[in-house]
Structure formats: C-alpha cells, structure tokens
Amino acid sequence: MTYNPSRRLFLGGTIAASAAGASGLIVPAGIATAAAKPAPQVTYGPAPGIAKLNANENPYGPSPEALKAIAQASSQGGAYYAYNAGMYLRDMIAENHSLKPGNIAITAGSSLILAFAAMAATSKGVILGPDLFWDTTSRAPIRQGGPEIRRVANTADLEIDLDALYAAIDDDVAMVHVCNPNNPTGRIVDPMKLKEFCIKASKKTLVLVDEAYNELIEDGPKHSMIPLINEGHNIIVARTFSKIYGLAGMRVGYMLGSEENMEFISKYGLGGYSINQAGLAAAIASYHDEGFKTFSREKVNEAKGIILSAVKANGLTALPSSTNFVFVNLGENGDANLFRTAMEKQNVLIRGQYRSYKPWSRVSTGIIKDVQMYANAMPMALDEMYKQMKS
C-alpha cells in the first residue's frame, strides 16, 4: 500500500456516533443525560507545545488502516475478551516466520513477556547481559527478591562485547539477554557475529534477543535471530508493535521460541488476558503495511539528520544509530540529568543519565517540528547545564 498521511482518521464523536447507530444501540435516558454533562479534559498524548522525545515512540501511528480497524473492533468486539483476535495475530506471525502457533506468545506489549522470561530464568539462575542495555524487564525479578543482573562491560565504543559475554557464561547463568539494535546506544551487532554467538551460547544457556527496533532497519530480516528458532537452537526473540508501527499506547507485543520455552515462560503470567481488541485489531491491520513502515523509516531518518546536525553544530558527538533515537555525548564534563532538566524548561522531554554513563544523553526522534525544537533548544540547554555544573 502507498502511505498517505492525509488519510488519517480521528476517533472522535462522529465515529462513536456512527458506531452506535450501526449497532442499533439505544442509549437509556439516564445515561444520555449523564454523558451530556461536561467531562474532564483527558490528554491522550503530549500536551500542546510539548516535544515528547523521551520514549522512542512513533508519533505518526497508528496508521490509517490501523485506525479503521480500531474503530471496528471497539464497536463490534469491545465487550468481549480478545481471544479470537489474539489467535489470529499469533497465526499471522507464525506463518510469516514459518513457525508453529505454539512458537508464539502474544502479550500487552513486549515488556510483559520479557518480564515473564526474566522471572522464568531467575527461577533457575541469574541473567547475564551487557553493562548498558534496556534492562527494565530483566530487573523485574530483583523487585521480587530475585538475583541481580550479572553484567559485562561494553567496549570502549559502547558496543556489546560478545566475546566477553560468552566467556562470562557459567553454570549459574540461566539466560543471556541481548538487545539488538541496542537501547540506549542505538548500535547494531554484525548479524553473522551475533548468529555465531547465539548458536554457541545457546548450547550453554537460554539466549534472549530483544528485537524491538528490528523493523526500523531497512534490511531487518537479515539481522533477525528468529530463523535460529526453527533450527532448534535454545533462542527466544521478543518483538513489539510499539515502535515502527506506532502502537505504543495500544500495548501489543510478542515472543517467539520453542514450544517448550513458550510454555515455560507463559506460566509466569496470564498473557492471553492482558491483550485488548482495539490493540490487536491495530496490530493485525499494521503487520503487513509496508507503506506505513517505509514512511515511518523515512521520517525517522529525517529526524535523525536534524539531531545529528544540531549535535555537530554544538561541538558534540553521537553514536551511529540504527534506531529511532540517538545517544549523544555531551562531552567529558557533561551531565545528562542537568541537560534533561534544562531541555524540559524549554518544553522538550528527553532521557537522563543511564547507569554510570553521566555524559550520555538519549533523545528520540519524533514529529519533525518537535525534533526541530530540540535542535533549537540545544545551545541554551547546554549553557544552562554548564551554569548548573559550576554553581
């Protein structure tokens, strides 16, 4: 399909009214009176004038086809559990990757199934990962009294050190967690090296590859470790509809692996009851929407160009990024938390410090005018950061 942003639909009173009329719904008088009362204002996205560049979202979604599906599913199936739609999406994904339906688990965003995997793994041992990766879900067991993540230092260029990671696997390691492309660095591992690592490491322990940003890469399939599942390796892969598909608020994600691994991991949560009709409808409509994915990649690349130009103009550097965010080096004496605060004063929201990496600041791509706000605010934010550091 050819993506045309002017075809976007807006879910407002017109759609709601037409949906009610189409279903033959008769609203009781008392309900109609209550609905007529002034309702509190609800903001479903960032407030006007705020550039939200802190969560790696795709603000151009949901796609037009997804919005149509959301309206239909909400009016026709909102009252019912979403089992059938979930199984339909599961079958679509399985067919696309030449897997069995039992190789797929669908949940409300990939965070949930990643947390399940972490809980399952720490019932047997510890989780091993790079020093710098998206570790929120792997830290879930810690809050339940589970073991800390065992970490291996990144290289000097903040790449994942696969050799060191492999060398750190011992009998205590129940799962190795790799995020590729990596968050927050934006770096991507050479696919042949990662494949070699996964095959070797999976002979010793379970290997999890989080591919949340895979579809943002032009040659994403080449970088995916999903084919290793069909080859019988002890690999699980996580994917999400939150990134390129623009469905972060709709909460749909999934994991792929052997039927045994999926059954074991699913014991740690009721994934089937976490999904919703509207989100599943949007995911089903988006899954093969190549026009929207191409459009999104183009907008991400345009936004990254603006960010990198601003970084260079202000005498800074950034890591190369294969994702919809950029990891900016604020300099030897930079302070990502102070920089975030200074940006917030100018209505630009970005991320602060990650672990001990004080000078490194992550900014997401977004609507072009919002990214331009970031670029325009950078000189003043840097000045404010330096002033705070001196005070």
226 exposed, middle or buried (CB, 10 Å; 0-12, 13-18, 19+)?
buried
Could you tell me if 284 and 85 are in contact, meaning their C-beta atoms sit under 8 angstroms apart?
Answer: yes
Residue 22 is predicted with a pLDDT of 39
pLDDT for 266: 86
Domains of the chain: 73-286 (3.40.640.10), 291-390 (3.90.1150.10)
The model's pTM is: 0.88
Cα 280 to chain center, whole Å? 16
Contact predicate 253/241, CB 8 Å? yes
Residue 379 CA to residue 385 CA, distance in Å, equals 10
Query: What is the distance between the alpha carbons of residues 187 and 37, in angstroms, rounded to a whole number?
Result: 51
R_g over Cα of the chain = 22
> Which pLDDT score, from 0 to 100, does residue 270 have?
58
Please state the rounded mean pLDDT for residues 247-264.
96
Say if residue 221's pLDDT is above 70: yes
pLDDT above 90 (res 42): no
Q: Does the structure show a pLDDT above 50 at 11?
A: no
User: Residues 181, 173, 198, CA angle at the centre, nearest 5°?
Assistant: 40
Tell me how far apart the alpha carbons of residues 66 and 59 are, in angstroms, rounded to a whole number. Answer: 14
Q: What is the DSSP string of 36-51?
A: HSPPPP--SSPPTT-E
Q: What is the per-residue pLDDT across 160-208, written as a single tens digit (0 to 9) for each? A: 999 999 999 999 999 999 999 999 999 999 999 999 999 999 999 999 9
